């Protein structure tokens, strides 16, 4: 279900809570003799990651700041967003030795070589940048990709059912006393 603006907070969420708690005797609850249970998740959707510029080219939406961009691209790439306080190129990880770095800068060969040296031979780094001036396969521990191209290849165009494919959807913890459904 997708709702907009304050209607979600004034009508939808309170009603969903009452249905789940078994306190809503009206509508479909009454028709199907619903006795409560279930759950839902509430998300605020970010603005569209990409927008067309005045020439019709896909560019990063100006509504995004650096942390929003890094978090979004971590999700698209299947990484856990966990920016390091001490290592500037660690915006997230997929394993304890595989990291992601997101920057809107255009990276030179020298900058990529410095990154490669800092990452070291025991770790790997996915570098997402707006442009780079080097051979992408010149660094054995780096995978270098352009952001707009990478993001566009992961977008699902023409869907109207909101079936978002997000890799790292957090699992909701069951409430005390809530039964869980085991699927085979």
Round to whole Å and give the CA distance between 168 and 130. Answer: 24
Domain edges within the chain: 1-45, 50-154
Topology, domain 50-154:
Trna Endonuclease; Chain: A, domain 1 (3.40.1350)
Work out the average pLDDT over 29-45: 80
* Single pTM value for the model: 0.63
pLDDT for 70-95, tens place per residue? 998 998 899 999 999 999 999 999 99
Contacts made by residues 36-44, CB under 8 angstroms, sequence distance 24+:
37/178, 37/179, 39/172, 39/175, 39/178, 40/16, 41/172, 42/13
Token representation of residue 100: 């992601």
Helix axes 66-77, 147-154, angle to 10 degrees: 50
Most confident of 27-31, 52-56, 114-118: 114-118
141-165 tens-digit pLDDT? 999 998 867 666 665 555 445 555 5
The CA-atom distances, in angstroms, between 174 and each of 34, 40, 181, 183 are 20, 11, 11, 16
Q: What is the pLDDT of residue 82?
A: 96
């Amino acid at each position: 279900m997708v709702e907009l603006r304050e209607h979600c907070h004034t009508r939808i969420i309170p009603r969903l809570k009452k249905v789940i708690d078994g306190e809503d005797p009206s509508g479909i609850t009454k028709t199907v003799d619903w006795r409560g249970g279930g759950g839902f998740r509430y998300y605020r959707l970010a603005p569209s990651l990409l927008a067309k510029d005045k020439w019709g080219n896909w560019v990063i939406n100006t509504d995004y700041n650096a942390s929003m961009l890094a978090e979004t691209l971590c999700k698209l790439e299947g990484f856990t967003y966990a920016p390091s306080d001490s290592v500037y190129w660690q915006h997230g990880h997929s394993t304890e030795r595989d990291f992601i770095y997101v920057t809107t800068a255009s990276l030179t060969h020298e900058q990529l070589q410095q990154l490669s040296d800092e990452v070291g031979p025991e770790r790997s780094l996915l570098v997402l940048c707006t442009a780079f001036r080097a051979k992408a396969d010149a660094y054995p521990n780096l995978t270098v990709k352009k952001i707009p191209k990478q993001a566009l290849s992961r977008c699902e165009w023409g869907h109207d059912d909101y079936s978002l494919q997000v890799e790292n959807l957090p699992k909701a913890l069951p409430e005390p006393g809530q039964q869980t459904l085991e699927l085979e």
